[in-house]
Amino acid sequence: MRKRFRLRKRAEFSRVYGMGRSAASRVLVMYVLPSEGDLRIGFSAGRKLGTAVVRNRAKRRLKEVVRKHLKQLACGHFYVVIARSGAVKASVLEMERDLVAVAKRLKVWLSQ
């Protein structure tokens, strides 16, 4: 994912957590906060998920799923996607299904 699409600073994450809306599935939690400008996305995985290797693998897989569906996400929002314990054993297809379901619940999914 390109640098211009990433949330990086702790303050940005905190703002999205504090002021944004959220929806969850077995695999992921998504927070959304309307903003001005382009969409920006941050990824996270808590320590409960496992070792650093496990957390990084889960985040890489989520990043790939989001990258494939970037054009279907509404612009003008900040997103934070958090990997849950189901992400460790979930297939990419399950991750895609959950991403679409959560994004539709938050009304940020643009159908083709």
CB-based contacts of 68: which residues, under 8 Å, 6+ apart? 96
CB-based contacts of 65: which residues, under 8 Å, 6+ apart? 92, 95, 96, 99
pLDDT in tens, 52-67: 999 999 999 999 999 9
pLDDT in tens, 65-94: 999 999 999 999 999 999 999 999 999 999
Q: pTM of the entire structure?
A: 0.92
Quick one: which of 90, 84, 91, 75 has its CA closest to 40? 75
CA dihedral 109, 21, 83, 101 (to 10 degrees): -30
Over the Cα atoms of the chain, what is R_g? 13
pLDDT score, position 67? 92
Domain 3-105 falls under CATH 3.30.230.10: yes
pLDDT in tens, 24-55: 999 999 999 999 888 999 999 999 999 999 99
Write down the residue that tokens 């939690």 correspond to.
29
